[in-house]
C-alpha cells in the first residue's frame, strides 16, 4: 500500500503567526485518517496547503505519490471540501452538479450516470429536483460532499465534514464516509471533536498550534488513557475503595477535586468485573463503573502537558 498524502516540513505563516509549523504527515492509502485539533490550530490552513490552494512558506506535499503542481490531472483524482462551494440557488441540486461536471470536463453521459449515484450516496436523490436555494444547511453540506465525490476520487479530503449538521446528518455523513472507505478511497478529514474521529478513523494526527503533537493508530493514541473510572456514592466510600483496590494490587488515584467520589484505576479498562467483585467483597457498590472515555482535553493533556486545548494563542 502506498502513501496517499505525504507532507514534509510543511510550514505557512500569516504575518508573525506560524499557522502551520513544520508538519510531517503520512497518510496510508486506504485509511480513514482523522486530523484533529481545536479551533485555530491550523487544520484548514494545512488542508489548503495540501490541495495547493495556498503556497507553503517551506516544505513539500505529495498526493497519491506525485508532487503537487506538476500534473494538473492529479486534481481529478482528489476530491475536496474545504470552504463550502457556491451553488446556484435557482437551480436544482441535479442541475448544479451538471454545471460542475461540465466545468470539470466530464462527458454528459458519464456525468448523468455519476450524478445519480452521487445523489444517492449523499441521500439527496429525493430532493435532487428541488431548487438549492431552499435547501437546509445540512442538505447543502451533503451536496457539497457529493460534489467532492463527482469524479470518483481516490483521495477525499474533507474539512470538518459534519460541522453544522444535526445528529441525524452527522450519522448520515459518517455512514457515507465509511462506505467510501469501504470502496477503497482514502479519506482525510479534519475535526475539532474527538468522538467524531474516534469512531470513524483508524489513524489520527493531533494538531496543536500549528504543530503535530501526536500521530498514529487511533487505538494507540487514545489507549494511553485506558483507565477504569469508578464512581462511588460518597467521598469517604471513594477513600475506602482506594484502600481496598490498592491492597488488591491495583494502582488507584482520586479522579479530580471536582469529583471527590470518583476514582481511577490505572490500566484496568477491561477489568471492570474483577474490580467490582473486589469492591463488593468490601461492601462497596459503585454507582458507575466503566472505562474512562478519553476526551480531546485529556488527549491534549497527555500529548502536550497543556490542560486546555482552547487556550487562545
Ligand atoms: N488568510 C489568513 N490570514 C491571516 N491569518 C490566518 C489566515 N488563515 C488562517 N489564519 C490564522 O491561522 C491560524 C490557523 O487557522 P486555521 O483556519 O487553519 O485553523 P483551524 O484549525 O482550521 O480552525 P477552526 O477549527 O476554527 O476551523 C488561526 O490563528 C487563523 O486566525
Ligand atoms: Mg478550519
pLDDT recorded at residue 313? 47
Phi and psi based region of residue 66 (left: phi greater than 0; alpha: psi -120 to 50; beta: remaining): beta
- The closest ligand to the CA of 16 turns out to be 1
**Three cell numbers written together for 136:** 437546509
Centre of ligand 1 from the C-alpha of residue 39, in Å: 8
pLDDT recorded at residue 246? 94
Ranges of each domain in the chain: 3-223, 228-293
Centre of ligand 1 from the C-alpha of residue 97, in Å: 29
For 35-62, what is the mean pLDDT?
Answer: 95
pLDDT at 312 over 50: no
**Three cell numbers written together for 26:** 503520512
Centre of ligand 2 from the C-alpha of residue 35, in Å: 11
Q: How big is the CA angle at 168 (ends 151 and 153), to the nearest 5 degrees?
A: 10
Pocket test for ligand 1, best of 11, 19, 35, 206 (most atoms within 8 A of CB): 19
Task: Give the CATH fold of the 228-293 domain.
Answer: Alpha-Beta Plaits (3.30.70)
Q: Which one, of 108, 123, 8, lies nearest residue 68 by Cα?
A: 8
- Per DSSP, 226 falls in state -
Q: Which tens digits make up the pLDDT trace of 280-291?
A: 999 999 999 887
| Widest CA span in the chain | 74
For 18-24, what is the mean pLDDT?
Answer: 97
Pocket of ligand 1 (CB under 6 A): 14, 17, 19, 37, 39-45, 192
- The closest ligand to the CA of 312 turns out to be 1
Mark the residues whose beta carbon lies below 5 A from ion ligand 2: 43-44
pLDDT at 97 over 60: yes
Task: Give the CATH fold of the 3-223 domain.
Answer: Rossmann fold (3.40.50)
Centre of ligand 1 from the C-alpha of residue 17, in Å: 10
Burial status of residue 152 (CB atoms within 10 A of its CB: 0-12, 13-18, 19 or more): middle
Cβ atoms within 10 A of the Cβ of 260, count?
15
Centre of ligand 2 from the C-alpha of residue 229, in Å: 33
CA distance 156 to 303: 28
Residue 238: pLDDT band with limits 50, 70, 90: very high
Predicted TM-score (pTM) above 0.85: no
Amino acid at each position: 500500500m502506498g502513501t496517499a498524502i505525504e507532507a514534509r516540513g510543511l510550514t505557512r505563516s500569516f504575518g508573525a503567526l506560524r499557522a502551520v509549523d513544520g508538519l510531517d504527515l503520512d497518510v496510508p492509502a486506504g485509511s480513514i485518517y482523522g486530523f484533529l485539533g481545536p479551533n485555530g490550530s491550523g487544520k484548514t490552513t494545512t488542508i489548503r496547503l495540501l490541495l495547493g490552494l495556498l503556497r507553503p512558506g517551506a516544505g513539500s506535499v505529495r498526493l497519491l505519490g506525485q508532487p503537487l503542481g506538476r500534473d494538473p490531472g492529479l486534481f481529478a483524482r482528489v476530491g475536496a471540501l474545504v470552504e463550502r462551494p457556491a451553488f446556484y440557488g435557482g437551480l436544482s441540486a441535479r442541475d448544479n452538479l451538471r454545471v460542475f461536471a461540465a466545468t470539470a470536463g466530464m462527458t454528459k453521459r458519464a456525468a448523468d450516470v455519476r450524478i445519480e449515484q452521487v445523489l444517492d450516496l449523499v441521500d439527496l436523490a429525493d430532493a435532487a429536483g428541488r431548487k438549492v436555494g431552499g435547501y437546509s444547511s445540512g442538505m447543502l453540506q451533503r451536496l457539497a460532499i457529493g460534489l467532492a465525490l463527482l469524479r470518483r476520487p481516490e483521495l477525499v479530503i474533507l474539512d470538518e465534514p459534519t460541522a453544522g449538521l444535526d445528529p441525524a446528518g452527522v450519522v448520515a455523513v459518517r455512514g457515507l464516509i465509511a462506505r467510501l472507505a469501504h470502496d477503497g478511497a482514502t479519506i482525510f478529514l479534519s475535526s475539532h471533536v474527538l468522538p467524531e474521529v474516534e469512531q470513524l478513523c483508524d489513524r489520527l494526527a493531533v494538531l496543536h498550534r500549528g504543530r503535530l503533537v501526536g500521530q498514529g493508530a487511533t487505538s494507540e493514541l487514545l489507549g494511553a488513557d485506558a483507565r477504569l473510572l469508578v464512581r462511588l456514592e460518597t467521598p469517604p466510600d471513594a477513600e475506602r475503595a482506594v484502600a481496598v483496590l490498592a491492597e488488591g494490587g491495583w494502582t488507584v488515584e482520586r479522579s479530580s477535586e471536582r469529583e471527590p467520589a470518583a476514582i481511577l484505576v490505572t490500566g484496568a479498562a477491561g477489568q471492570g468485573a474483577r474490580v467490582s467483585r473486589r469492591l463488593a467483597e468490601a461492601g462497596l457498590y459503585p454507582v458507575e463503573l466503566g472505562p474512562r472515555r478519553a476526551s480531546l482535553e485529556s488527549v491534549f493533556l497527555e500529548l502536550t502537558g497543556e490542560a486546555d486545548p482552547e487556550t487562545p494563542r
